[in-house]
Each structure stands twice: as C-alpha cells, then as structure tokens.
Structure 1
Amino acid sequence: MEISLTQKYNVPGPRYTSYPTVPYWDEAGFTTEKWTASFQKAFSESNSQNGISLYIHLPFCESMCTFCGCNKRITKNHAVEEIYIKALLKEWSLYCRLLPEKPIIKEIHLGGGTPTFFSKNNLEQLINGIFSFAFKAEKHEFSFEGHPNNTTYDQLKKLYDLGFRRVSFGVQDYAEKVQKAIHRIQPFHNVAKVTFWAKEIGYTSIGHDIIFGLPFQTIEDVVDTVEKTNSLKPDRLAFYSYAHTPWIKGNGQRGFNEEDLPKDAEKRKLYEIGKQLLSKNGYHEIGMDHFALQSDSLYKATQNKELHRNFMGYSSSKTQLMIGLGVSSISDSWYSFAQNTKSLEDYYQLLEWDQLPVIKGHLLTDEDLIIRKHILNLTCELETSWSDESLYFKEFPTVLLDLKEIENDELIVIEDHKISITEAGRPFVRNICMAFDLHLKRKSPETNLFSMTV
C-alpha cells in the first residue's frame, strides 16, 4: 500500500531553534568560565554595532495548560513577583559587571510562563531596572507574550510607554471541547478585547499563536479558529504543530489520551486548510509555522533575506549575543550556548552566592558553526549554498546522499552547489535539516527526545 509523504516523513525530530540541539550539547567540555569568555568575546564584537538581545523568562502561571511544554511554576500567590524580579536584576547586574562598557539593548522578549501574571508596576520595575545598567538602542524591538484572560489595558499601556511595540497572544483554539482538554478556557471576547486594546494603544505588531493537532480538534474547529482570527486581523501568526512529548512534560500533557489526537494525514490536513484560509486573507507563509501580513516586519525581513531564528523564535532583526535571564533561560553568544538552572530554588540560591545560575551549555566547534549556518539558511530562507568554501565540510557528500530521496520526492531541488526547498517541501523543513545534523546521525537517540516533525 502506498503511503503519503506525511506518513513517510513524520518521524521524531528537533525543532531547530538551535544547532546543536540541547540533547546533544557537550556538557563535559563546558564551564561557566568558558561561557563567560565566550559572551565577553561576542559582546566586544557586537555591542557597538548591533547591540545585544535579552530574553527574560517569567515562569509563573495561575493554572496549568496541558498542551504547554514551557518551564513554569503554577501559583496564585502574586507575592512571588517582587522576589523574582529582584533575582532577575541581580543576575543582570552580575553579567554587567563582567562587561567593559554599558550594553546597548536592541531586543527584549518577555516569555513564560505568563509574563502578564506580573502587575504593570512590577513590569515597570523590571524594565527600568534593566536600563539602570544599559542603553536603549535607537531602533529597538521589544516584545512580550500576553495571556488574553489576564492582560489588562494598563499593562499594555505601561509596556508600550516602556518601548514595547510587539505583543503575541496565546489563542491555541476557540473550540470549547479543545479548550477543556488542554485546560485553557478563554472566550473569543477576551482575545478580541486585548487585540483591540493593543491596536488602540499603538502596537505595530500584534501576533496570535494558534495550534493544530490538539486533542479532539477537527477541520471545523480549525476553520472556525482561523476565521475568528482573520476577523481580528493580527499582523502575524504562529500556526504551530502541537508537540506531544509527555515523557518530558509529565502530567502536564496527560490530560487526554493518545487516541484523542489527530494523526498523520488527518493532522496535516488541519494545517493545509488553515494555511489556505490565511493565504486568502492576505497572510504570507514565513519560514516554518509562521505567517505575516505584508505590512509586518517579519514579512519585510523575509523579502530582504534578513529573517533570523533563535531561542526566541523568528525575528526581523539579528544580534550576535543573546543573554537569557531567569530560570531555565538559554543564552547564545553564537560561539556557545548556556542554560540556567530549571529549579527556581537553585536559581535563587546561586544568585545569593553571587554566581551566574548557568548549569550547562555547549561550546560550538568549527563544524558546528558551519552546520548551524546551513540550518539557519534552510529555516529562514528555505535554501542554502556551499559555493563559498567556508560553508563546506567533509561530510557534505554524505549529506547530499541522505537528501537524495527527499529530492526524488520533489521536496528540494539540488543544483549549482545550492539546495532550495520547494513549496511542497515546506512542511518537511525539519526533516531536511536533519540530513545536516551530524550530532543526530552519529548518536541516534535511544529514548524519546523529540516531537514528531510533521
């Protein structure tokens, strides 16, 4: 029996927000001292030119969403806000002490958890505290994630006044049965309200995150969600495949049974239907899983071949150094990665001892850096080239052999030292990247590590 391309290529694989992916980091060769030297080198190369980026992880949520894989702490006790902000600013001060001059911050992203768990006054204290040690870049891009149920007008206004111009709201799906299964009950009215508030205040890029492949989700549900989304006309959309990884996320992804999830071709059809509707309403597909109107900076970056991808997702601007603040945050100097402890208690303790809360990382080899560039090219520009000798590596002939079947399936075109992903190949970008992933090839995982690629 002939199988579909979706069935053929729907295998476990990384999402490639980094290369090497976290499970393949060489932790034995990493030390905090080596990370310190790496980010100092990156800072000296980038601060005066492009500035740096900050990712700030705000982990608190008032309730558990069973689709979520983020590092979070569930609590209704808002007294935790001030303690955590004090710790974040302590961590930031430790980094700034290691720098020869004041950093220039080009990008800030507040992620979670639920950033809008925090009051407007505490968010203001956090951002003002960050800039007591830093300058704001002239063309800065500040963004945050908002929960439609608890984002207030005052929070939106305060963050706007502090320089934020981009906000993304987690929608997921509007069907009541789906919302109950993932424990994320939020009426369309709540999403509409915060979207209109953000437009009224003046945000220039408003995003919605929606997910396909959720439990009990049908084509009718996706159509309804996309049509409601179109009626609000956000500037950009993330239309993600649900990553079912209960072996990592424990009880947080066991609020429903495996058989409740749409599979393979059924799941992919949810995406194709959603994509068609979005296209009809003026949205253009960007990289993997993203869509934007022509007026949005993400679309313009794509047209100008300036799209970038890192642990914060897709970005219309690029900095070499990204420092992650907060529990579980990941930093990136281009030459190395470093991740903070995932334990909130350990995070507080290490800062109390005046230590950076970094517990693991990876120093990129010359080979890693070359392959990282190819994977960035594929995920951002849907093509890559090795006509420049600096982008060639000795295993390249093997990579091309591994891509032969993908080429035969007309998902890529290989010619003139160049690989281009076809329109039919867009759903399989992760599979194409896997052909370049030498760490994955050299040591196939013996246990579940990754979600399905399609």
Structure 2
Amino acid sequence: MKNLLIQKYNVPGPRYTSYPTVPYWDETNFTYQNWVDTLKKTFTESNHSEGISLYIHLPFCESLCTFCGCNKRITKNHNVEHPYIDAVLKEWTLYCKILGEKPLIKEIHLGGGTPTFFSAKNLEDLINGLFSHANKAKDYEFSFEGHPNNTSREHLQKLYDLGFRRVSFGVQDYSEKVQKAIHRIQPFHNVAKVTFWAREIGYTSIGHDIIFGLPFQELDDVIDTIEKTKSLQPDRLAFYSYAHVPWIKGNGQRGFRDEDVPKDEEKRKLYEVGKLLLYENDYLEIGMDHFALKTDSLYKSFENGKLHRNFMGYSSSKTQLMIGLGVSSIGDSWYSFAQNVKNLEDYYQILEWDKLPFLRGHLLTEEDLVIRKHILNLMCQFETSWKEKSNYFDEIPDVLVQLKEMENDGLIIIQNDGILVTEAGKPFVRNICMAFDLRLKRKAPETQLFSMTI
C-alpha cells in the first residue's frame, strides 16, 4: 500500500516557505512603494508587541557543495568580508530610515552560503552594527548556521557573547562515498568537536541537518549517520529530502548522474527507516522534515500551537515582519514579499544609489492571506479549520473534493469545518497543501518548477 501511495503522490510540489510560492508572485503589479507601505503598516502593528525578525544572507563559501540549492559565491579570498558587511549595514540603515523609529529585534538568523566563512570579529561588527540602530527584545532568539569544518571555538564564543543561543550544523551524511559525490568532505570528528564546544559554551539548542536521497546514498549510510548523530544528541534535527533540481541550479548539481540519485520507493525507505530510528531515540516530528527532543523550544512551540514557518524555515516564535538583508534575501511584511537581487555586483551598485536592492516582489491579496493561513496551519500543526468565517473561501468545496481521495488513502480526516493530517499523511503534507494552492491550480506550470514531494 505504501509503495502505491508513493507512486501516486510523488509529484513536483512546493516546500511552502511562503504562499504564494515565488514562481507565482505577481511581479508586474508590485512596486517599490508597495513594499515600503506594507513595511510601515506591519511595523506599526507589531513592533512594540512582538518585534521584528532579521534574516541575513552571507553568501560566501570556500568550496561548492553539489547538493546545495542556495545562492552562494565561491571564493577563498577573505578580503570580501568587510565590503559585504558594510553593504549589509548600509541596507539596514536604509530600512531604519523608512521605519522611522528604532526597531525591536526579536529574531536574527545568519544563513548562507557559509556564515562562518566570516571571521568572528567581522560577525561581531555586523551584529553590533545592527544594534546601533535597534533595540533587543526581552525574549530574543538569535541563531546561525555553522559549517563544522570551519566553525571555530572563537566563532561560537563570540556569537554566544552577542546573544546567540541556537546553532545548526550541516551534517548531510557521514558516508565518504556520498561526501565525495556532494563535494562535502566532513569527518565525524569535526561535527563532534563543534557540537561539544557549543554545548560547553552554553548553547541551548544545537541542531544537525541530515539529508536523505543524496547521490550514492544507501540505507546503511542513513542508519550509520543517525547512529553517529544519536551519540552527539543534538536538540533538534532537520531530516529532509535532497531536492534534485539541476535544471534550476545548473552545473552545481551535475557532479553526478541522475541515475546515481535514489528515487521513489528506494528513497522513501531511506526516510521511513531514518524516521523510525529518530523516534526510537526520542526525536519527535515537528512540522515537515523536522524533529526535536521534548526539551527543545521547537517542540514546546509545536505543543503550544505557536510554531511558525517562513523563509527562514521553522521558528519557535512568530513575528509579522521579517526583513531580509543581503544578496538574494527575501523579506516578508505579512502583506507583501520582496526578494533582493541575486547578483553580488548588482547588490552593491543599487545600494550605492541609496535604494533598497530588491529584484522582485508580491503584494498579497485578501485571498492570498486566507490561503496562507491554511497552508501555515498544515505545515506547522498538521491541521487547519475554516470554522471562523474569516478563514472560509469560496473554493473550499472544490478543495474537499480534491482531498477526498487523500482521505480514502488514510492521509487526512475531513471534519465538518476542517481537516486533520494523520500520522500516515505527514510525509505527504506538501501534497495536502497543494490542494489549497489556488494559484498553482489555476495556472499549472508548463515546465518543472519544483522538486519532487517525496
């Protein structure tokens, strides 16, 4: 039965870090003023009550990992650090001028690229530069992504001193064969070292990222990786599917052949066995592809119904306003999205003109806002409801017709005024969300835009 469900539902689909998804943004009707107006609106509504979030994209990496779909610039020249931090701080200054008063920062996430490409001192200059124009919320949460090969104890100590309490390390897989294929040679010793350092320094949430479906990856590789992970006991885990999208990412994902990548039932087995091992080691499923110990803040947010999802991934707290700084970053004012230019030279040039360096955006309609709520509910709580009149939309009957087959397959329970995702349905939550995705249904893509859902 499980094999048949995999064959049936393994289709291209979004990961839903936003709704609408980026390919369905209405860029033609979006203006610079739209973004500024919605920024001010949300800032006025939420700054004093909950604060704002900052996502800062640090794009530099010393080498190319072929599994990676992120925006990056490969270089070993560390002279690029200062100009980039200066540019990010200039962008932040432009935002602060628009907002008109000092923001209250609740969340900061440093992503990449490789944030620990930057020296500890330069990261300190970045964070201090941000707070020269802002205040820190009482219940702040700061996090960063660390590369186990180049995260130093100095990095960890300096960022801890600046208020960071959460760090995630990209593990992917411990198999030498897999590491060679994805160009990420990373011994277990390196991961153990940084994990022990972080715990010793006092980080309260240490995460590891593991990927299933990588080239040449076999079941024994996943088992070995999780067994090694168990010995380090990170507080949370991302255990997610490799997104094989070489038609989008170009040569970066052509370091191996398509037939070297596990598919369908073979790939699903990697997930099922890995998930079972995580359960056996007290990791509980939180949203899509995420697991945590009961002591971690992500699990507590899930239990309390406060888990949130945005362009930074899952978060244990919600802010309506998230500003993206740095090349390719995406901001979310709740009423609109804006993405920065992806080319580094363009980013620098536009900032020289004293303008926000965004490439494109989308102004959410009333319908978008309702659909977004349902998709967030499904991704964060595995259920949604239209009991409140404001959450109802005219196409609900059509959505339920589409979902009926999923109910017959045991993936969801359709209730009088909502749906509940079953345990069997959790791996198919992207497919369930697609039933609510009106923009996707109204204009099916002519070419493959998304990775496979399974």
Q: TM-score range by the shorter chain?
A: over 0.9
Q: Distance in 1 between matches of 2:71 and 2:32?
A: 22
Q: Distance in 2 between matches of 1:185 and 1:359?
A: 34
Q: Distance in 2 between matches of 1:169 and 1:294?
A: 20
Match in the other structure for 2:306:
306
Q: Is the 8 A contact 2:3 2:265 kept in 1?
A: no
Q: Distance in 2 between matches of 1:353 and 1:124?
A: 27
Report whether the alignment pairs 1:176 with 2:179: no
Secondary structure in structure 2 of the residue aligned to 1:101: coil
Q: Is the 8 A contact 1:406 1:412 kept in 2?
A: yes
- The one-character-per-residue Cα deviations of 1:349-381 (angstroms, maximum 9, x if unpaired) are 000010100110000000000000000000000
Secondary structure in structure 2 of the residue aligned to 1:379: helix
Secondary structure in structure 1 of the residue aligned to 2:323: strand
Shift of 1:450: 0.1
Match in the other structure for 2:230:
230
1:34 maps to amino acid: N
**Pairing 1:44-443 to 2, within 5 Å after superposition:** 44-443=44-443
Q: Distance in 2 between matches of 1:411 and 1:286?
A: 17
Shift of 1:162: 0.2
Residues 338 and 425 of structure 1: CA distance in aligned 2, closer, same or farther (over 3 Å): same
- The one-character-per-residue Cα deviations of 1:228-258 (angstroms, maximum 9, x if unpaired) are 0000000000001000000110000000101
- The one-character-per-residue Cα deviations of 1:15-49 (angstroms, maximum 9, x if unpaired) are 00000000000000101111000111000001000
2:232 maps to amino acid: L
Normalized against structure 1, the TM-score is what?
A: 0.99
Q: Is the 8 A contact 2:55 2:110 kept in 1?
A: yes
Q: Distance in 1 between matches of 2:78 and 2:3?
A: 52
- The one-character-per-residue Cα deviations of 1:311-334 (angstroms, maximum 9, x if unpaired) are 000000000000000000000011
Structure 1 residues 374-383 or 271-280, which shifts more? 271-280
Extract unaligned runs of 5+ from structure 1.
none
1:451 maps to amino acid: S
Q: Is the 8 A contact 2:13 2:434 kept in 1?
A: yes
Q: Distance in 2 between matches of 1:344 and 1:313?
A: 24
2:73 maps to amino acid: R
1:162 maps to amino acid: L
2:363 maps to amino acid: L
Q: Distance in 1 between matches of 2:325 and 2:152?
A: 24
Residues 2 and 393 of structure 1: CA distance in aligned 2, closer, same or farther (over 3 Å): closer
Q: Distance in 1 between matches of 2:32 and 2:418?
A: 38
Shift of 1:100: 2.5
Q: Distance in 1 between matches of 2:448 and 2:402?
A: 23
Q: Distance in 2 between matches of 1:180 and 1:23?
A: 32
Match in the other structure for 2:39:
39
Match in the other structure for 1:27:
27
Q: Distance in 1 between matches of 2:178 and 2:3?
A: 29
Q: Is the 8 A contact 1:4 1:265 kept in 2?
A: no
Q: Is the 8 A contact 1:35 1:336 kept in 2?
A: yes
Shift of 1:121: 0.5
1:313 maps to amino acid: G
Q: Distance in 1 between matches of 2:441 and 2:276?
A: 35
Shift of 1:213: 0.3
Q: Distance in 2 between matches of 1:427 and 1:317?
A: 24
Q: Distance in 2 between matches of 1:232 and 1:137?
A: 31
Q: Distance in 2 between matches of 1:356 and 1:400?
A: 42
Shift of 1:448: 1.6
Shift of 1:308: 0.3
1:298 maps to amino acid: L
Q: Distance in 1 between matches of 2:240 and 2:154?
A: 29
Shift of 1:439: 0.5
Q: Distance in 2 between matches of 1:79 and 1:392?
A: 54
Q: Is the 8 A contact 2:39 2:99 kept in 1?
A: no
Q: Is the 8 A contact 1:212 1:267 kept in 2?
A: yes
Q: How many residues align?
A: 454
Compute the RMSD of aligned alpha carbons: 0.9
Q: Is the 8 A contact 2:65 2:184 kept in 1?
A: yes
Secondary structure in structure 2 of the residue aligned to 1:29: coil
Report whether the alignment pairs 1:5 with 2:40: no
2:397 maps to amino acid: P
Q: Distance in 2 between matches of 1:271 and 1:128?
A: 41
Q: Distance in 2 between matches of 1:81 and 1:114?
A: 12
Secondary structure in structure 1 of the residue aligned to 2:360: strand
Q: Distance in 2 between matches of 1:4 and 1:44?
A: 51
- The one-character-per-residue Cα deviations of 1:171-217 (angstroms, maximum 9, x if unpaired) are 00000000000000000000000000000000000000000000010
1:336 maps to amino acid: S
Extract unaligned runs of 5+ from structure 2.
none
Percent of paired sites with the same residue: 76
2:62 maps to amino acid: E
Secondary structure in structure 1 of the residue aligned to 2:291: strand
1:396 maps to amino acid: I
Q: Distance in 1 between matches of 2:422 and 2:384?
A: 13
Residues 394 and 146 of structure 1: CA distance in aligned 2, closer, same or farther (over 3 Å): same
Shift of 1:2: 10
Q: Distance in 2 between matches of 1:2 and 1:65?
A: 32
1:263 maps to amino acid: K
Normalized against structure 2, the TM-score is what?
A: 0.99
Q: Distance in 2 between matches of 1:381 and 1:212?
A: 23
- The one-character-per-residue Cα deviations of 1:26-81 (angstroms, maximum 9, x if unpaired) are 00010111100011100000100000000000000000000000000000000000
Secondary structure in structure 2 of the residue aligned to 1:390: helix
- The one-character-per-residue Cα deviations of 1:136-183 (angstroms, maximum 9, x if unpaired) are 111100000000000000000000000000000000000000000000
